[in-house]
Each structure stands twice: as C-alpha cells, then as structure tokens.
Structure 1
C-alpha cells in the first residue's frame, strides 16, 4: 500500500527501471542512502526495506510528506529534507545515491508541478549538478544510480561523471514512445536540434557511477 498526494510525480517507467537497478545493488543494514528528488519515495522505501538508513530530498514539501508516509506504511523511517539537490545534506557522505531527476528539455519557466520533469533548455539543469557534485557526496566504493532520457545527452552525463573520477557505465535501457509532455513539445525539440525530425521515441537509461 502507498499514497500519492496531488501534484507529486507518480511512479512511471523511469522509476521502475531505476528500482530494478537498485535491487541489484548490495544495499544492506546500515547502508547510508540518499534519494535526490524522491517524489513518492518509491526508491527511498525500497532501500529502507532492505535496511538502508535513508535520507530523501525534494523541493516539494508534498513529495516529502508522501515519502515519509509511504515509509511509515512499510514500517520504515525515511528522513526527509527540504531543498535542492545536495544542499540539505551538505557535508555528509553516502554509500548509495539514487535519483530520478527532472530531465525533459523545457522552453518555459519551471513551475509546480512541471518542475518535477522540466529541466531547462537542454534538460540538464539538475543532471549537470548531479554529475559535478556526486563524487564528493559518495564514500569510497559508493554508488550513484540515476535515470534520464536519451534526449538529455547520456554521453555528456557519462563523460562528466568519468571526468569527476567515477567509474561509469549505462546499466539499463528501455526504449519507448514519447509520453504526453514530450509529444506536446516535439516540434520545439526538433526546432532546437534535440531530436531528429519525426522522432517520437526515446531511451530511458540508468547511469551507474562508482567512487573507487
């Protein structure tokens, strides 16, 4: 059983493939886990059920309330922190960082609830922050898992993470047709060279980075 307050990003294909990737990691009792952009808390709860000590961050107070309640419904405590990306946990280090960040290119100012998916003109507003800062937030041997669309330049993500010192690879990929948001702005994406003319499919990929 779980809940979702109005306006909170729901569990979709991107969440599901990230959950599957998380299930393959060695999260165990006492593992320090950070969920950036927790939404409903699906990832946070999955880690907590396996014994992880989980902190969930989001810029939506409704999302944090949803994650906290969903943890409680499973008999787990999720520590929730309000704020942007790593700011609420500055100075801490984690064994695992998971994130399903906004990654859809947007030509308009982000507002609520579109901020759950809109990520600036290239779709990289949050992705670039995660790539630049994740290594310093991980303990030695720590693992970053994040999901994004192929429209938001997966090669750049891998390159930035590798340059920061993380051993990086794409560990999951799911091909599918555009959802309603992407379909609605397909002409704009074509105009700005973010997709080929007539393209209406994307890959959702999970990028894994390890601090050695």
Structure 2
C-alpha cells in the first residue's frame, strides 16, 4: 500500500496511483469554482482522488465510477478516511449516463495508445486505451450531451499522444465550448517507459524522446 502526498489517499496494489496527470487535474480544479453545491461525476475514479477533491470543495453530491471493483473499494475507503461522502460504484460510462445528468464531470481516463487487448478489469485498464489512445475518450465525447446538464462543465486530462485537439473539436461539434486550460511536460513514468519502443515503432514517438505533455481540457455546455 502506497501513500501519496495527499494524506487521505492510500493506494492498494493493483489500483492506479495518483501521478502527474491526477495532480495536474487536481490543480486545475483548484483554479476554478466549479463544484461547490453541484452534482459531480468522477468517471474512471481509480483511487478516488478527484472525487474526494470535489467533495472537499463542497460538491452537493459526488458519484465515482470505475470498472475495477478494487479501485471502487479503494476510493470508498479513501473517502471515508478523508471524512467526505463519495458514492463509489462499479460501472462503465454507460452506467454513469443512466445516473446522470451531472453539473460537473471530471475524468482522468485511460489514454495510452496500446495494442493490448482491452479485457477484464486489471490494472492495465487504467491506462490502455486502444491503438489511438481514444477508446474511452471517444465514448466520453459521444456521451457528453447526456452526461452534462445545460450550463454544466467537464474537466478532462490526457496526454498529447491521445490527440487532445480531437477532444476539443468533437465536443465543440456537439454544443460545448472546449479549450485547453492547463498543461505540463513530464518525464515518462513506468507505463510510458514500458510502452516507449512500441510507440516509436508506431511512429507516435520520436526515437529517444522520453517526455510527454499532459493537458487538461475544460468543457462548458452552452
């Protein structure tokens, strides 16, 4: 069990531990007054760090979904440890849609381009996202009109390797304003180091480069 710099977050083996992407999204959430008094969805919750941050910032209700039962159990324990109420549920984006709509949706979804079969609920499902890194991002874009209330917002973090401009373009095309609001260049973590040669072979990564730009996209429904 690993403890992060967030005292209330402990991460079980097999659950995605908060890293640069989670922290960048938390910082973006700090910069805006989006969640106080609102109904919030954290999709792909992992350890629950984002759901808990939303609850600590005064959200009226927070639902946190993940396909991994281990992650959901971890998120629920972390919320209890933080002294906040988070309704952590095992489920998919389709399940979240049925529980919606929401005033605010926050997400750190899988976004790493991968040729690994997307099966089961193992730890790799926290990052593997198909050949273009957009399996979950595309579904999130498709379901956004049903997930978000009129006047509502989304904050989504992902890597340059999963084509953030495509997210912006797709969401602008279905009635949202979308723009990049934060970015950070970071050294590859363990997953990206492991996948680097594969990304180079696919022409997605310059040979020898071992950094990536993470971006946060803010989306507001018109």
Q: TM-score range by the shorter chain?
A: over 0.9
TM-score normalised by length of structure 2: 0.90
Match of 1:66 among 62, 65, 74: 74
After the TM superposition, which of the residue ranges 71-80 and 38-47 deviates more from structure 2? 71-80
Out of 176, 199, 215, which is 1:166 matched to? 176
1:175 aligns with 2:185: yes
- 1:20-169 pair list within 5 angstroms: 20-52=27-59, 53-90=61-98, 92-110=100-118, 112-169=122-179
Shift of 1:91: 5.2
Aligned length: 212
Question: Could you tell me how far 1:36 is from its partner in structure 2?
Answer: 0.2
Mind listing any 5+ residue stretches in structure 2 that lack a counterpart?
A: 1-7
User: What is the rounded CA distance, in whole Å, between the counterparts of 1:194 and 1:167 in structure 2?
Assistant: 28
RMSD of equivalent CA atoms: 1.5
C-alpha contact 1:27 1:47 (8 A) present in aligned 2: no
Note if contact 1:149-1:204 (Cα within 8 Å) is conserved in structure 2. yes
So what's the TM-score if we normalise by structure 1?
Answer: 0.94
Question: How far apart are the structure 2 equivalents of 1:173 and 1:211?
Answer: 22
